[in-house]
Amino acid sequence: MKLELKNQQKDIIKNNDVVLICGDGKQLLRDIKLFLDWMIPHDAYCIGRSIKAYPGTVAHYADVDGDAGFWVAANVEKNHPDKVGPEGYICKHTLGGTTSFDFDWNIDGSPWDMDEVLWHGSTGLFAVLTAIDMGYKKIVLAGMPLDSKGHWYFPDEKYGPKWTMETYQAWFELKALPQSQRIRSMSGYTAALMVEPTRAWVTDGIKKRSPDKNSSGKVVEKRKAGPKKAKAAAK
């Protein structure tokens, strides 16, 4: 199973070969802090409310929740101006339509009838597959445990979300891909499946880019990964 880019409205932002993909799992703040303490240049890719928690600029945002995600995507830059980098925008990714999104992806090789379901897996899995297609050499997952222990922005929440059998099957399909060797996870079941990263693994084979350039070859200011400590900004 892989994704195919159907429509593209903007240039892809890719300033580093390492990408940190942030979900909304309970351990997100812990995972972000541990990764940022390694001081590794990277691009940030956020899902849902994790954009509030990541302390630096964000290159990518994903939402595959259908109509509910269109309004959020349309207002990402407006509602989070401090997350917009020197390119002036955040790349917004989705399935099945480009309204309010910059990149529309199709699923190739899905084991399910796509006339019956739009997506099985999770938005996190979708983000990972897009990161693979965009050519990231190391993909690190934060706050993406694939468990039902709640979300980081509801500290007292004890249960949720409820994942389906197909969700886990989709992640096993991902693990079977050769490209899964590029992926590690900071916590949860995805860490058990993909293995936890080390700083040595993340930096192995990664060359620093100097100067940083966007996908059009234009020199941009060096993207800052943010402070060492991640602080929740959700209200």
Q: Please indicate, yes or no, if residue 221 is contained in any of the structural domains.
A: no
CA atoms within a 13 Å half-sphere pointing along the CA-CB vector of 212? 17
Distance, CA of 150 to CA of 158 (rounded, Å): 5
Q: Is 37 among the domain residues?
A: yes
Contacts 24+ apart (CB under 8 A), 67-72: 69/94, 69/100, 70/97, 70/99, 70/100, 70/101, 71/100
Q: What is the CATH number of the domain that holds 169?
A: 3.90.1480.10
Q: Does residue 227 fall inside a structural domain?
A: no
Whole-number pLDDT of residue 76: 94
Q: Is residue 118 part of a domain?
A: yes
Q: pLDDT at residue 235 above 70?
A: no
Indicate the average pLDDT of the chain: 83
Write the pLDDT tens digit of every residue in 123-178: 899 999 999 999 999 999 999 998 888 888 888 877 778 788 788 888 888 999 99
Residue 10 CA to residue 211 CA, distance in Å, equals 22
- Report the domain count for the chain: 1
Q: Is there a domain that residue 212 lies in? A: no
Domain span at residue 120? 2-203
Is the pLDDT at 83 greater than 70? The verdict is: yes
In a domain, 171, yes or no: yes
The answer to whether residue 68 sits within a structural domain is yes
Angle of the 123-133 helix axis to the 165-175 helix axis, nearest 10: 20
What is the distance, to the nearest Å, from the Cα of residue 69 to the centroid of all Cα atoms in its chain?
15
Identify the CA nearest to 220 among candidates 59, 46, 75, 44: 59
Query: Residue 68 has what pLDDT?
Result: 66
Asked if pLDDT for residue 36 goes beyond 60, the answer is: yes
* Sheet containing 91-95: order of strands: 2-8, 103-108, 91-95, 60-62, 43-47, 18-22, 138-142, 183-185
Residue 79: inside a domain: yes
Write out the two tokens for 5.
């880019």
